[in-house]
Amino acid sequence: MLRLIRIILMQPHRLNEALVQVKPTYRQLFFRLVLVMMLPILVQSYQVTEHIKSDIGQIQQTIPAFTLKNGELSFNNPKQKPYVFLGDYFNLLFNPSDKNVRLLHKDKQASIIFTKEKVMIEPAGKSYVYKDYPRLTDGMLRQMLVLLKESSFEYLFFLLGIAFVLCYISMIFLQFVYRMLFTFIAMTLGMRAAPFIVQRMTASLSILPIILVSIWNCFFHMSWSYFGVGLVLFALTCYYVLFKTRKYQIKMK
């Protein structure tokens, strides 16, 4: 890919000649571009995972001691005030007094609320009464948090698997759109190319746009679209290379 980038920037008229070589094949370019497209998802998924691990660690150290008696939750310390943790991705509340529960959490964010008689999951609207879990203690909850914290990387790999599938499908459609744009620009310059050349040229010319958009999205949280800014960058790259190639061909005649 680096060799192709260098040719595109320094010797654009030689791109077609370089693609006559066996490597990189279209399939190799395609999968490399899929991996590049995954970079912002990888970076942001890792950041979210680390943030959630940090939140879980904080909760693990600060949740109040409690017991269940006759299906009701109560703090071991009678003077303990309701426990509220408001994170960036989820909220956790302990409120045995059942006062103003709705006012203590963000309605649009996932919240786990321990009330006097049940634990609620909002905004899913699910609830579980303590009578079904009589052995629940703060120590058991801390152990569950430890297991959740340790399994965070498994969750990360699961997300990356989904991301690969989504990026693979997106790349198929993206390359199709880019081929249409390449064909249109080539026609405006009076140039023609065989379908397999168009396919490899399109993949090669999309290297820079996809890399630039991916790098930008790694730092600015997916603010650029491959079908928006990426399409404009591809059009500029495509026109630059084809124009230089056309100019070189005319000069050599």
Q: What is the mean pLDDT of each run of 10 residues along the chain (253 residues)?
A: 78 72 79 93 86 85 86 84 82 76 55 85 81 85 83 79 93 94 89 81 91 89 78 90 78 63
Amino acid 62: pLDDT: 86
Do 66 and 134 fall within a single domain?
Answer: yes
DSSP assignment of 143-202 equals HHHHHHHHTHHHHHHHHHHHHHHHHHHHHHHHHHHHHHHHHHHHHHTT----HHHHHHHH
Query: Residue 49 and residue 149: Cα distance in Å, rounded?
Result: 9
Report CA 224 to chain centroid distance, whole Å. 13
Do 99 and 185 fall within a single domain?
Answer: no
Which of 151, 166, 183 finishes a domain? Answer: 151
Amino acid 103: pLDDT: 46
Is the bond preceding 123 in cis, omega lying within 30 degrees of 0? yes
Do 106 and 193 fall within a single domain?
Answer: no
Q: Please report, for residues 10, 76, 111, the alpha-carbon distance to residue 86 in angstroms, rounded to integers and kept in the order given.
A: 53, 23, 9
Amino acid 28: pLDDT: 87
Do 174 and 240 fall within a single domain?
Answer: yes
Predicted TM-score of the model (pTM): 0.75
CB atoms within 10 A of CB 158: 12
Query: Residue 217 and residue 39: Cα distance in Å, rounded?
Result: 9
Structure tokens, 120: 């609620």
Do 140 and 130 meet the contact criterion of CB atoms below 8 Å apart? no
Do 77 and 143 fall within a single domain?
Answer: yes
Structure tokens, 70: 């006759």
Do 22 and 36 fall within a single domain?
Answer: yes
Which of 116, 151, 186 finishes a domain? Answer: 151
Provide the domain count of the chain. Answer: 2
Do 79 and 129 fall within a single domain?
Answer: yes
The residue assigned the tokens 């045995």 is: 96
Amino acid 235: pLDDT: 92
Do 112 and 73 fall within a single domain?
Answer: yes
Q: Which domain holds residue 190?
A: 2-45+154-252
Residues 6+ apart with CB under 8 A from 30: 171, 175, 203
Q: Please report, for residues 55, 63, 85, 119, 136, the alpha-carbon distance to residue 141 in angstroms, rounded to integers and kept in the order given.
A: 15, 9, 15, 12, 7
